[in-house]
Structure 1
Amino acid sequence: MTNTEEKAMLAVKLVLGLGALALLGGQAAPDPHSPAPTFDTVAPQLPALRRPAILIFSKTNSFRHDSIPAAVAAVAKRLRARGWSSYATENAAVFNPAQLARFDAVVFASATGDLFTPDQREAFRAWIAAGHGFVGLHGAGDGSHPDWYQAMLGYGGYTGHPGGADHFQQSELILLDRTHPATRHLPPRWRWTEEYYAYSQPPRDDAHILARLDETGMRLEPKHRMGDKHALIWWRCEGKARIFYSALGHNPESWSDPAHLKLVDGAIGWAVRKAGKGCD
């Protein structure tokens, strides 16, 4: 390509770029993975719900995962198969005392960021204190959440995950407890490909670790290495509330994997006290 042709091509690209900016009112196209934070004030109208009823919440005031639609659909499908009700929303105004009282558990499907107004936060914390169930999935355990939430879920010191060519790696999860409803179907070592989260410290001392990452042979920066403390799936009690977390589920295809779906199904069944033990 000659210098003249190169200049002409650059001019076309510049015109096209300026045209796109003009269509967007002079603003660059928004990044779908970085939505502008919003806070909801008008609660949704809930449908009729049978008990147990599960609130599936996927609001993102921080990074937005492409797998959210698949995760929400997969969780709702599993609940329908149980004959249970679910309601999926990204409207945080549902976190009010009257509406939360209609649910037995809340599932955070990669919900990220500081999500609540002060009143919504206190309604959620009071609901947890009353002994309900919570299941956090993947992005629900990243570093974007406020301190009170991280303490409830049982983690802190999020250091991120590998990036670039090492972003997704296949390794093995070592199952430390195969008696829990979420993990009793899994083998002692389970091969899985994931965006593996890491923390500067293990989960809280009162957390019951179900599975950890085998870091052997993985390409990890020092800040992402936790050795035999690299927990990925755990549960704990917040008073009488059953709290569960799994760091798995970044990729949309995770939500069609039978073993992973059975894990999530077992976690929700445990959270609503239909199986397992703890938090009595």
Structure 2
Amino acid sequence: MTQEKETAMFGTKRIIGFSALALLALTAQTTPDPHRPAPTLDSTAPALPPLKRPAILIFSKTNSYRHDSIPAATAAIAKLVRARGWSVYTTENAAIFNPAQLARFDALIFASATGDLFTPDQRAAFQKYLAGGRGFVGLHAAGDGSHPAWYQELLGYGGYTGHPGGGDQFQQSQLILLDRSHPATRHLPPRWRWTEEYYAWQAPLRADAHILARLDETGMRLEPKHTMGEKHAMIWWRCEGKARIFYSALGHKPEAFADPAHLKMIDGAITWAARKSGKGCD
């Protein structure tokens, strides 16, 4: 084979190789990341089916990181609600946050909903709903750093600093129960062993937050920004006026929503938020 032909063939292989790499790079750039959906705002409310009271709304819209556990969470929560003979509706459409439709629900559940979710009118409807003495339950990413300041203040936290990463992202530790009289925690042991992506916050919770369980940091591999000592709250409640606000940082992995103790905790939180059990915020 002549040198000219060898050079031509080699050049063709280089061009083909380069084109394939360029195509792969372009595909990687244009393929949507299922964990990073494009933020959207909703304007057309869904049509609600007939609902009998009590009724619970499960909301899992993600304008920031989307957790793989959301399908398992929404299915498990809906099953809990139906087991009580209550109505339940699940949606990711934030336009449901209007006065007429929210009035049909006794409590709202945010199943790892993330990001800035609402138009000004939807936010106002949400706040008016709570001002009427209704209930709210936030799970896992419903308490991360993607939410606007007004919402973080509502839940009682601020200055989210993240969670451990890499090989230390999921660690087994113990949750120390500080209050086992609440409907969400009365079935739990004084120390509850749990594996989680443990969230941390820059400062302790608002002074009016009632901590039900905190993280025992003993023996954990935590960066300084993720350490909070005895102030490392994981499950708590507070009152926003007469509204009952409950939050649990647990539930990153789908299997969390098959754990009986965890599900019983969520069930107790829902009945409390709907004012069917427990006390507070009168």
Once residues 257 and 49 of structure 2 are traced to their aligned partners in structure 1, the CA distance between those partners, rounded to angstroms, is: 25
Once residues 76 and 35 of structure 2 are traced to their aligned partners in structure 1, the CA distance between those partners, rounded to angstroms, is: 21
For 1:117, the equivalent position in structure 2 comes to 119
Whichever residue aligns with residue 262 of structure 2, its letter is H
Structure 1: runs of 5+ lacking an equivalent: 1-7
**1:37 aligned to 2:42?**
no
**1:273 aligned to 2:278?**
no
Out of 188, 191, 195, which is 2:190 matched to? 188
User: Which range moves more in the overlay, 10-19 or 154-163?
Assistant: 10-19
For 2:160, the equivalent position in structure 1 comes to 158
Question: Shift in Å at residue 28 of structure 1?
Answer: 2.2
Out of 202, 208, 211, which is 2:210 matched to? 208
Counting only pairs closer than 5 Å after superposition, residues 1-280 of structure 1 correspond to structure 2 as 15=20, 18=23, 21=26, 27-280=29-282
Once residues 250 and 47 of structure 2 are traced to their aligned partners in structure 1, the CA distance between those partners, rounded to angstroms, is: 31
CA change 1:227–1:27 in 2 (3 A) is closer
SS of 1:236's partner is strand
Q: CA RMSD in A?
A: 2.1
TM-score, normalised via structure 1 length: 0.93
Q: Deviations over 1:134-162 (max 9, x none)?
A: 00000000001011111111100100000
Once residues 57 and 67 of structure 2 are traced to their aligned partners in structure 1, the CA distance between those partners, rounded to angstroms, is: 19
Question: Shift in Å at residue 17 of structure 1?
Answer: 5.9
CA change 1:199–1:17 in 2 (3 A) is same
Whichever residue aligns with residue 245 of structure 1, its letter is Y
Whichever residue aligns with residue 120 of structure 2, its letter is P
CA change 1:69–1:9 in 2 (3 A) is farther
Once residues 181 and 158 of structure 1 are traced to their aligned partners in structure 2, the CA distance between those partners, rounded to angstroms, is: 27
SS of 1:70's partner is helix
Whichever residue aligns with residue 195 of structure 1, its letter is E
Question: Shift in Å at residue 20 of structure 1?
Answer: 8.1
CA change 1:187–1:126 in 2 (3 A) is same
Whichever residue aligns with residue 263 of structure 2, its letter is L
Question: Shift in Å at residue 102 of structure 1?
Answer: 0.3
Once residues 32 and 70 of structure 1 are traced to their aligned partners in structure 2, the CA distance between those partners, rounded to angstroms, is: 16
SS of 2:30's partner is coil
Question: Shift in Å at residue 202 of structure 1?
Answer: 1.2
Question: Shift in Å at residue 11 of structure 1?
Answer: 5.6
Structure 2: runs of 5+ lacking an equivalent: 1-12
- Based on CA coordinates, which of the two structures has the bigger radius of gyration? 2
Task: Write out the 4+ residue segments of structure 1 that deviate beyond 6 Å after TM superposition.
Answer: none
Sequence identity, in percent? 77
Once residues 240 and 276 of structure 2 are traced to their aligned partners in structure 1, the CA distance between those partners, rounded to angstroms, is: 18
CA change 1:41–1:226 in 2 (3 A) is same
Question: Shift in Å at residue 13 of structure 1?
Answer: 8.6
Once residues 29 and 220 of structure 2 are traced to their aligned partners in structure 1, the CA distance between those partners, rounded to angstroms, is: 41
CA change 1:49–1:20 in 2 (3 A) is farther
Once residues 14 and 215 of structure 1 are traced to their aligned partners in structure 2, the CA distance between those partners, rounded to angstroms, is: 51
TM-score, normalised via structure 2 length: 0.93
Question: Shift in Å at residue 29 of structure 1?
Answer: 1.0
Aligned residues: 273
CA change 1:187–1:125 in 2 (3 A) is same
